[in-house]
Amino acid sequence: VDIPFGGGKGGVEVNPHELSPRELERLSRGFIRATADILGPDRDVPAPDVYTNSRVMAWMADEYSLIMRSQQPAVITGKPVARGGSKGREDATGRGGYYCIKEIEALRKWSPAKIRVAVQGFGNVGRHAVRHLADMGFPIVAISDASATLHRDDGLDVEKLLSATKPADDDGRKPLKEVEFDADRLESDELLTLDCDLLIPAAVGGVINQQNAGDVQARYIVEAANLPVTCAADEQLRERDVTVVPDILANAGGVVASYLEWTQNHQRYRWPRKRVLEEVESMLRCAWEHTRKRVEDEELSHRQAAYRVAVQRVHDAMELRGL
């Protein structure tokens, strides 16, 4: 997506659902105290991921500012708007996959009402993706979270489901297994092999692997999670002509929005939500076009093409530095 951010991961091995809010705050602040020496607005900028939310990021930003004895909003992204966060950040990752699907729809001349969609993961990313796709007219035939899968051949009532699982506060949303809903109930992992046209894994990594790739019936997979399709599974799917839009493109809306939040923090100026989402869409559309051109010109998979675009940019930048 051509932004001046690299890629790295860090975290704590813990189940936050087993912690009290006070314990979670102490853990979040402790993580920043342990890593403060390697962080910085122009060095290493953490962003939210699995089991983190805007409240956790606010604690982290506050702790770093206390350590530095000055306000440092640009060191952490994914913060609440009231604490220097960006408008539009909350649904940016879900929108990233949605924008890619819009491009595929135009390219393949899809009739949305005939494209059955299954979404694995009903957290921040999955919920927003489901809402946008339903608004476009795509029937959402299955949705799952860690507790259950809800399935209905003629499509689920998305608005009712969103309302039924809406969280009362920041502590989490109601699991699907606890929701009374007119739909078939399946095991969580059964969603991946259901009869559908478009599959969106929006939960965790490695869910489509060598063991189940042959059972996947979808013709299109849009990776809204990080690495939900393993390398071995990717090869199997390509041999079966299944199109996989890779995570570095499909879920890049989140990192683009983090970059825009970081930019606003440096400017000490907050942009309107409309501008933020327009910037996210513009940058993702540009990334899609570069990837699609490589797919067509070099007969590559979307993953291979996206990786080549990314590596080429790093190569060009290093060459200009004389490395």
Catalytically active residues are: 9
Q: Token pair of 243, please?
A: 């199109």
User: How far is residue 106's CA from residue 103's CA, in Å, rounded to a whole number?
Assistant: 5
User: How far is residue 282's CA from residue 20's CA, in Å, rounded to a whole number?
Assistant: 40
84 half-sphere exposure, CB direction, 13 A CA radius: 22
What are 198's strand-pairing partners?
117, 220
Q: Could you tell me the strand order of the sheet in which 220-222 lies? A: 184-186, 149-151, 140-144, 117-120, 198-201, 220-222, 243-245
Long-range CB pairs of 311-318 (<8 Å, 24+ gap) are 313/2
> End-to-end distance of the chain based on CA atoms, in angstroms?
23
